[in-house]
Amino acid sequence: MDGKDLISTFDALLADLDGVVYAGPHAIPGAVESLRRLAGIGVGLGYVTNNASRTPAQVAQHLRDLGAPAEDHQVVGSSQAAGELLASLLPRGARVLITGGDALAREIELVGLVPVRSEAEDPVAVVQGFHPDVGWKDLAEASYVVAGGALWVATNTDMSIPQARGIAPGNGTLVAAVTAATGQKPLVAGKPEAPLFHAAAKRLAADRPLVVGDRLDTDILGGNNAGFATVAVLTGVDTRESILAARTLERPRYLINDLTDLYRPYPAVEHDAGRYRCGAASAVVDGQAVRVSGDPEDLDAWRAACSAWWAANPETATALAPVIEWQDH
């Protein structure tokens, strides 16, 4: 990339949180320092999260506790994206049934809509976000309104949510209950849909944001859906192998080890007669195999392998993993 650092060609970084900035209670090595450097080079910073049960202020405080730069307005959650989506589709002052917590109701108020809690209050829309107190009566009210033909927006559809005691049902399972009762499906504001990313970019007045995430099915797919450049980082869920096998819609433009790589030039991948070269490594596809000349520990080898495999399989609706044959230089 002409010797420029990767991040220097973008005007903002839209960062996922878990697996990118922190893992559990601890910051990922190099992440906080990398985020702090952005201000010095004039690159905006936004955090994008599907969590609709914590307010932006709570998320920002958590980030500040870890030493990361975070003002409340830099955090954009799926509840805010849901509010902005509803505000773009409804007249000011329209009544919206809240299936979720007070933080979600507050976001609806902030965009000039009126939160209500029952079908009897004549809502014209439903917004559904996770909260541990959501129960059967709440889902019933949502079902009555949705079945009546109202607009329905879900903050996100994550099927599970990690808790201290294990994996618990997430907002997606509660949304699925209303779908089962009504036969309807909601518009989705959070990852992997585009509204969350568009809301974050708009807040930063960014024209060329770079989306960084550790999950193909939420972060990378969402960034791609929004039409933004995406970079997969190897500090969380997805691995070199799963990224190589990625279906077309979930393929990142860039692949880096961690956030410190944002401040290094990104190597160009060149190809000639079916051989793809990146740095000292190269790769060629032979049927269902990728022959890679290079070191498995060298990310350039994986970048070459991805370029070769994706070029040979441009349209795949499901993950497709090649056999990898490693060859010495």
Region of 226 on the Ramachandran plot (φ > 0 left; ψ -120 to 50 alpha; else beta): alpha
Integer Cα distance of 215 and 250 in angstroms: 9
DSSP character at residue 184 = -
How many CA atoms are closer than 13 Å to the CA of 217, on its beta-carbon side? 12
Whether 65 sits among the annotated catalytic residues: the reply is no
How many CA atoms are closer than 13 Å to the CA of 206, on its beta-carbon side? 27
Q: What one-letter code names the amino acid at 224?
A: N
**Residues 279/281/285/291 CA torsion (nearest 10 deg):** -170
Integer Cα distance of 318 and 224 in angstroms: 16
Helices 195-203, 78-89: inter-axial angle, 10-degree rounding: 90
Q: Under a CB-based contact definition with an 8 Å cutoff, are residues 153 and 126 in contact?
A: yes
Integer Cα distance of 95 and 87 in angstroms: 11
Catalytic residue among 2, 5, 11, 16: 16
SS3 of 319, please? Answer: coil
Beta-bridge partner residues of 154? 128, 188
Catalytic residue among 2, 5, 18, 300: 18
**Secondary structure (DSSP) of 227-265:** T-EEEEETTSS--HHHHHT--GGG--SEEESSGGGGGSB
Q: What one-letter code names the amino acid at 88?
A: S
Whether 16 sits among the annotated catalytic residues: the reply is yes
Q: Which residues are catalytic?
A: 16, 18
